[in-house]
Structure 1
Amino acid sequence: MEQNPKSVRMWIITCLLFILGQAMENDRDFKMCGTWRHGNASRNLKSDLKVGCKVIEISANESTLSIQGSITAKCTRSSSIPLESNPLQNPSHFCVFWEPLLDLMIVEVNGKKYTLCESHGLQGTCCTDLSLEDQKIATLYGIENGSIHGDTISYNVMELYRFRGDTINCKEKFCDEASQKRSGANMIEEVVMKSNKTGRVDLPCAQSTIIEIKEGFTGLNFTLPAPRTVAPNMTPTVYLPSCLKSQSTITSKVVCTYYKDKSLFQRGSSDAVLLDDIVGLSVENEIIKNLPEPVRIRFHHSALPANLSRRCVSWDTREDNEVTWKYDGCETEIHDTETECRCNHLTYFAILVQVEQKATVRHLEALTFITAVGCAVSLVSCLVLFYWLCKRSLYSKRVKKTQISLVHRGLVVAIFLLCLFFILTGTMANVGKKIVCQITGSLLHYALLSTLCWMAMEVFHTFLLIRKVFNSTLPTWIFYLVGFGLPVLLVGILLLIENVYDVDIYGERKIVPSDDVNNPYRMCWMLENDKSLLAHYIINVGLLAVVVSSGAVMLFLVVREIHNRPDWKKIHVAFLSIWGLTCLFGTTWGLGFLDFGPVSETILFIFCIINSLQGFFLMLRYYALERMKKKDRSISDGSSSGSSKQHMLQTYEKS
């Protein structure tokens, strides 16, 4: 039996309508578009909208595009709007947009928008889930290529489309949809911003406050709205600085949203533990960064266990597809039952407190005491050794010995500065001035880099002497440039980054003892944010690895050069040479790479003792060598044995 082509086409359309009707049941917002075939005479847009939830009819004829029915929550509108007539623009494209949560309806004809219903705020009960109920075929004029959300309903010319709606709790459904999407926080803030309302806006998943800032805004301190289940004294407070007001706009809207449910933010961040309270801040049509005065958010919470710490973090949901909490741009001020976040940026993101296990150090008091005593002894030793080296340089007539003394003096000065600033760093941190701690931290970093650079110069100069690469000495300025100039360049770059990108690299660093977590040791050093840690691993760890590895290689070469000499068989001579060269070449700093496993505490004690006393060991080595040289000269009786022994003990002075 042969079927009528027209019947087949209608059957396909009917099936498609049924499928679309089922699919649209989960669509909150409504968008119906089509091509309006009309005459060349004047045209108008007719509306007749009423409160209720029955049907909405979208129809068209030769001169009128009509939207009528009962689907609004508060809007009642009956009007006829004349449209721009252009005989050459036929047919016309149109779309009908309906947002039930906002009670907002907009019709767009040939790119021009007409608002039929203004937003009346966020609606609790609304008419949504519009599904196609009926349609009527036209002869000549009407709607062609009608579609819903981009899916074509019919290619034929239709006179009328009728849609039926259902009454639901629109706020609850919106929150359910937002919780299923990574951009759910953005959805909430965008809808609140579009509600054309100031003051409090309530949703089941969030409570917002819309603040309008105008000319003369001097700042505002307020408490965020909260659900009834939350005590008023436990809700966050926010301070908005006056610099939020943009000079390019007369008025701006700021949306401050309080999220008690962290499910919108926790997904994908299972390794992070967040406090329940989360605050989202955004400014209408603006991205705010590098504020001269920070936004302050104060979170109130119950007292946390002593073994937990708190830090303020932020997440820009528009830039990060994954949940990535960052420390940049926020400072944390901690009190017993409060945590204040001071942040220099503001956009569509959440500011919250992250709770993490504290990294504690065992025996911190003993380690601090040992290091302080060792540094004090090294300070005195460096002064004595520097005097001896300067005196020796004045009386020396050999150029190479003078240059060797120069390298030694540079290392002694660097170790002196390192010990001095390390002793001062705890005192300066307790002064409480941020700028003072930043300066002290940068000076301590400079002294550390200078010490490592001069150790590298010791290795390089010894290599030149042992291998006799050059017959003449190197210019003195090369040693000063590397030993004192390179650290200035590296620290200067980090300080420039601080000022240009407004990222704190130096400042107060807290080291928490395991036996008293409430009384951390404060020092001025590099901070623990992402950029500081990156600089630490690249500059500090990288330079240390170069010095330790090259020093170990040079130590091996020196020992191999002299191990066959007769005097090398004596235990005290061998120990003195190896120990002295080990300190001189910085290989004792390699213990820092062994700080792991069951022997980590032992390694940490050895590291602190040896390296804090490094200045003392160098002075002791120099004194022992001088005594042995005098003894050899007294018994040599003009023989070469004394000079041979002196030559062996001062291996890196070989010429």
Structure 2
Amino acid sequence: MRNLKIYHQTGATKQPPGTKPNISLPLPSVPTNDDGSVSPENAANIMNNLSSVVDMMGAASTAAVSLGVIKGILVKLAYKNDMGIDLGIPTSDDITILENDTDLFSQFPRSVHIPKEAFSQALERNGSFAGVLLFPKMYQDDPNSVFINNEVVGIEMGADISNLSRNIEIHYRNVDKNGKIASCRSWNGKEKTQTWITDGCETRETNGSITCHCSHLTFFAILMSPPPGNISTSDFKSLTYITSIGCGLSMFFLAVALFMHCLIRKRKASQATKILMNLFVAMFNLNFSFLVNESIANLGNYGACIVMAASMHYAMLATFSWFFIEALHLYLNLWTRPIQIKHYMMKICITGWVIPAVVVIALLATGKYDYLIIYTDDGNSAKMCWISDAVVHQGVNIGYYAVVFIFTFIIFILTVRQINLFNHAVDNAQNNSSIRTNTFSILGLFLLFGITWAFAFFSHGPMLIASYYIFTILNSFQGFFLFIYYYNSSKNVGEDNKVTASSTSSAAPHTLTSFTPQ
């Protein structure tokens, strides 16, 4: 069997070249509800009994079928199929079969692709046909949502088809969402209570079109739901504006700091400075990837979006890792006393760069990166490339940062306590100068350890929007603040490789000078 492209077209529209199905099989109408909808139980029975309809086809290889309001197509399977089956579905009953590679999908509002792999599985499991039926006015269990075009697509091949590496694709073109959220759903047709779930299906939106990528055969529909409206349009625009300015400014000053380090101070850099530069590299990549993310997402190139999502996620996890390492370095120098660790910097770099890579590779392998739509209360939206599964995002990112936060916050509190103990031990003349220096060091450590990220990850309730603003301002400008901290600390304290109790902050070269008089 060569690649079949099956089209429904209106009589008023010019028919594409080709032939119609061999026969038409009008079957007895299916009982409907008072509103004209087909019950899930009747729909499931029809799909389960398609094999008996195939027996009615005789020697015909294709057939157009109709059961009252239900329309569809049946195609007998053959052992030679190079491309799978493509179906274009407009609104009429006229069916045309094209036995060539002419791509006319753009002429039709709906289309379905069944890959070759599905045919192989069906033939191996004694399947004998491919059937695609449209069920208008199918009942669904969410009163606040509707199916797109008020219809459901049922696909059956006479065998259990699942875990496809090349997915079934269902396309809807020129969709007017009217501010609603589109979500591809499936129902297995077996449960008495109809439950539409997202498992096994991915939703991708490009230029007004929606595509469902599903790894199994069953009933499919696109559910249109009201947006959650978790953030107002004004807040979203303000936060976006602040982020763009802050990230751009941070990138500039991080680049300046890295330039200063590479051309001026690299040879005499301490371990603390080297660690700080690694953090700056991670933060620069994070700011850059965030700024270009939406532009990449709007290109509509799925592969580019996956790379973008993975890159930004890696930069974020690497930034978290270097927050942890900054705190660890401070702890090793202030509380355990200087110790000689063989290949210390190499081990630190492996921790900071390799561990995030392992996490990202695992998510890439399991296909967790995709388009993510952010909705506002007026139905507008913005697209970005990120982790589409909220559960994975919560488990990986919040879990990862929670570990970092607990450790860095403990070190931060211990450091502040040490500073306060020192202030009580100095005389008043020295104390005034020391307070200014210590306050600067404490603020620097607060940013350096990434504690500001807690405003985003751990904020809930009535202060949620306020926390978004605090987080956006502090973290967007974090690179700028840390550059000022690095510059002033480098100017005030000469760099050397000797680690002492008065010059061991991992914030910058020996910046925690609060333990000795200035």
- What TM-score, normalized to structure 2? 0.73
1:173-221 deviation per Cα after TM superposition (whole angstroms, max 9, x unaligned): 999xx988x7553322123432333445554684454333445566343
* Selected match of 1:349 from 219, 232, 235: 219
Q: Percent identity?
A: 22
Q: In 2, are the aligned partners of 1:192 and 1:208 still within 8 Å (CA)?
A: no
In structure 1, what is the equivalent of residue 333 of structure 2? Answer: 465
Is 2:350 the partner of 1:481?
Answer: yes
Alpha carbons of structure 1 residues 236 and 382: separation in structure 2 relative to 1, 3 Å: closer
Alignment partner for residue 402 of structure 2, among 533, 538, 545? 545
Within 2, Cα distance between the matches of 1:493 and 1:425? 21
- In 2 relative to 1, CA 395–577 (structure 1 residues): closer, same or farther, beyond 3 Å? same
State the alpha-carbon separation in 2 of the partners of residues 537 and 323 from structure 1: 25
Q: Does 1:197 align with 2:61?
A: no
SS at match of 2:164: coil
Please identify, of 537-546 and 241-250, the stretch whose mean Cα deviation from structure 2 is larger.
Answer: 241-250
8 Å CA contact 1:315, 1:326 repeated in 2: no
Counterpart residue type for residue 399 of structure 2: G
| Residue matched to 1:283 | 157
Quote the residue 2:257 is aligned against. 385
Amino acid in structure 1 at the alignment position of 2:45: M
Alignment correspondent of 1:434? 302
Amino acid at match of 1:597: G
238-247 vs 560-569, greater mean Cα deviation: 238-247
3-state SS of the aligned residue for 2:481?
A: helix
Task: Count how many residue pairs are aligned between Structure 1 and Structure 2.
Answer: 445
Give the secondary structure class of the aligned counterpart of 2:133.
strand
Selected match of 1:596 from 452, 456, 460: 460
SS at match of 1:650: coil
Inter-partner Cα distance in structure 1 for 2:308 and 2:413: 37
Residue-by-residue CA offset, 1:256-311 (whole Å, 9 max, x unaligned): 22222323xx24x567543421111111134254263643354898x553x31222
Q: Which amino acid is the alignment partner of residue 49 of structure 2?
A: V
Q: Does 1:556 align with 2:424?
A: no
Matches within 5 A, 1:273-312: 273-275=146-148, 276-290=150-164, 292=166, 294-298=168-172, 303-305=176-178, 307-312=179-184
Query: How many Å separate the matches in 1 of 2:391 and 2:432?
Result: 47
- Distance verdict in 2 for CA 1:280–1:605, change over 3 Å: same
Aligned to 1:578: 442
Q: Residue 509 of structure 1 aligns to a residue in which SS?
A: strand
Q: What's the counterpart of residue 369 of structure 2?
A: 506
Matched with 2:46 is 188
Does the 8 Å contact 1:462/1:652 carry over to 2?
A: no
Contact between 1:458 and 1:584, CA under 8 Å: does it hold in 2? yes
Is the CA contact 2:134–2:153 (under 8 Å) kept in the aligned structure 1? yes
Which one-letter code corresponds to 1:552 in the other structure? F
Q: 1:568 to 1:645 in 2, by over 3 A?
A: farther
Q: Structure 1 residue 484: deviation in Å?
A: 0.8
Could you tell me which runs of 5 or more consecutive residues in structure 2 were left unpaired when the two chains were aligned. 1-24, 58-62, 94-107, 495-499
Gaps of 5+ in 1: 1-119, 125-170, 228-234, 397-401, 499-504, 631-642
What amino acid maps onto 2:392 in structure 1?
A
Q: For residue 87 of structure 2, what is the amino acid of its counterpart? A: N
Three-state SS of the structure 2 residue aligned to 1:394 is coil
Give 1:563 deviation, angstroms: 0.7
1:407 equivalent in alignment to 2:270: no
- Tell me the CA shift for residue 513 of structure 1: 4.6
- The letter for the 1-side match of 2:268 is Y
On the 8 A contact 1:122/1:192 being kept in 2, the answer is no
The counterpart of 2:268, out of the listed 390, 395, 398, is 395
Give the structure with higher Rg (CA): 1
Matches within 5 A, 1:486-497: 486-497=355-366
SS at match of 2:226: strand
Match of 2:382 in 1: 521
1:239 to 92, 104, 112: 112
Partner of 1:370: 242
| Secondary structure in structure 2 of the residue aligned to 1:278 | strand
Q: RMSD of the alignment, in Å? A: 3.9
Whole-Å separation in 1 of the counterparts to 2:284 and 2:448: 14
With 360-369 and 419-428 compared, the bigger mean Cα shift is at: 360-369
Question: 1:496 is matched by which residue type in structure 2?
Answer: A
Rounded to whole Å, the distance in 2 between the matches of 1:380 and 1:623 is 14
> How far off is 1:589 after superposition?
0.9
Q: What is the Cα deviation at residue 594 of structure 1?
A: 4.9
Contact 1:274 1:352 in 2 (8 A): yes
> Any conservation in 2 of the 1:295–1:344 contact (CA below 8 Å)?
yes
Q: Is the 8 A contact 2:249 2:477 kept in 1?
A: yes
Determine the structure 2 residue equivalent to 1:211.
75
In the alignment, structure 1 residue 221 sits paired with structure 2 residue 87? yes
